[in-house]
Amino acid sequence: MTAAAGTGGRTGVEVRLEDLRRRYAGVTALDGLNLTMAPGELVALLGPSGCGKTTALRLLAGLEEADGGRVVIAGEDVTNVPANKREIGMVFQAYSLFPHMTAMQNVEFGMQLHDVGAAERRKRAGDMLELVGLSAHVHKYANQLSGGQQQRVALARALAIEPKVLLLDEPLSALDARVRARLRDEIRRVQLEVGTTTLFVTHDQEEALAIADRVGVMNAGRIEQLGPPTTIYSRPATPFVAEFVGLTNRLAGTVKGGEVEVRGTRLPLVKPDTADGPAIALVRPEAVTMAADGDIIPGPMVGTVIATVFLGATSRVTVDLGDITVLAQLPTSDATSLTAGTRVRLAMRRDPVLIARDEKASTEA
C-alpha cells in the first residue's frame, strides 16, 4: 500500500467507514461495509452497478444518512455531521459546474463560503486551474468548455477548499476513451501532488487498477477484496473478484488432494483446503500457453484457433477445444502465425487457481 505524502503542503487524513449499513425500500445497498483509508491514500471502489459503491461514497460525503455504522474522518465521528460541514471535496459523474458562473467563479465559490479573502481566493483559484491545465479558460462558462475541461474545473473546485477527503464519483464515465485515459492520469498526478486522501468510485476495472493505491472490489453491499491492484488481479480472493476483474476461463475439473485436475493438467489451488470433488477452475488467459509446431496429436488440450484479436503488445487468441472455447493471451510476436484454422496444443502455467462450484464449464470473456 502506498500512502502518498502530500507535496503541496497538505497532509491527508485517515478515513474510516465502520460497519456502514444502508437499505432502500427493502433492498440492501450496504451490508456492513468496513474500509480504512490511510492518510493520502487513493482507494478505488470497483464493482458492478448496484453493488453499493456509490452509496458508500455518498454516505462518506454526508449526502445520505446511514441506517447504521460510523463515518470517521481524522479521528472525528462525522456520521451525523451535515454534508456542508464535513470539509469534503467531491467530483460528480454528471457535469456539476454552476452554469451561471465562469470556471474561475466556480473554483472561488467554495472558498467564498469558507471566508477566504478575495485576493487569496483569486490566487488560489488561479493556481488550482493552472494545476489542472486550464489557465487559458478561467473566464469561460460551463457551456463553453468540453466535458473533460468541465471535469477538470470540477476537480480544481473540489481541491480549492483544501478538503480533508476528496471523493470522485465516476468522474470519467461521461468522457470519450482518449480524454478519459488522459484525465485519469491527471487526476492521479494532482492527487499525489496535493496528498489528499481520496476515494474513487468506478465500474471500470482498467481505471481502478491504473489509478489506485488499493482497490476494493464490491459485491452486494460488501467489499469482497481490498488490496493493491496487482494482488487483486493476480491473486483474487473470491470467484467474483476473479471473474469481475480481468478475463477468466471457466474450465471444468476435479479437486483432489489440494490440487485441481483440468483436462489432464494438475494445477495448484489458491485455497488448498478446498474439498475434493467436481469444480470449475478459473484460469486467466495469460496463464494459457500454446504451441503450433510439430505433430499435433489429438488430446484434451488440442484445438483450432477461431479468432485472434490484436491488442497491441499482446494478442488474444480464442481456441475451440471441441466442447469448450478457451482464451489465451500471448505476446503479439508469438501470435502472428496463429491465424484462424491453425491447429494448436494448449498448456497451462501452474499458477494457483480459484475454484467456483456448481456451475457448468464455459468460457467467460
Among 109, 200, 233, 240, binds other proteins (CB under 8 A): 109
Q: Is 171 in the site for other proteins (CB under 8 A)?
A: no
Backbone angles phi, psi at 17, to 5 degrees: -105, 120
113 touching other proteins, by CB under 8 A: yes
Q: Give the shortest CB-105-to-other proteins separation in angstroms.
A: 5
Q: Is residue 26 near other proteins by the rule CB under 8 A?
A: no
In 3D, which of 354, 127, 358 has the Cα closest to residue 236?
354
Give the neighbor-by-neighbor strand order of the sheet with 165-169: 88-91, 165-169, 197-202, 42-46, 214-219, 222-227
Range 54-93, binding other proteins (CB under 8 A): 61-63, 82-85, 87-90, 92
Candidate ranges 36-44, 100-108, 232-240, 279-287; the one touching other proteins (CB under 8 A): 100-108
Q: Is 144 in the site for other proteins (CB under 8 A)?
A: yes
Binding flag, residue 123, other proteins (CB under 8 A):
no
Separation in Å, CA 9 to CA 12, 194, 196, 267, 351: 10, 7, 10, 50, 44
Three-class DSSP labels, 123-190: HHHHHHHHHCCCHHHCCCEHHHCCHHHHHHHHHHHHHHCCCCEEEEECCCCCCCHHHHHHHHHHHHHH
| Interface with other proteins (CB under 8 A), residue from 16, 140, 222, 235 | 140
Please identify, using beta-carbon distances, which residue of 75 and 82 lies nearer to other proteins. 82
> Residues touching other proteins: how many (CB under 8 A)?
38
141 binds other proteins (CB under 8 A): yes
Please, which residues have CB within 8 angstroms of residue 114's CB and are 6 or more apart in sequence?
Answer: 161
Q: Name which position in 66, 131, 158, 267 contacts other proteins (CB under 8 A).
A: 158
Angle at 129 between CA 125 and CA 130, to 5 degrees: 115
What are the residues binding other proteins (CB under 8 A)?
61-63, 82-85, 87-90, 92, 94-96, 98-100, 102, 104-105, 108-110, 113-114, 118, 122, 138-141, 144, 154, 157-158, 161, 167
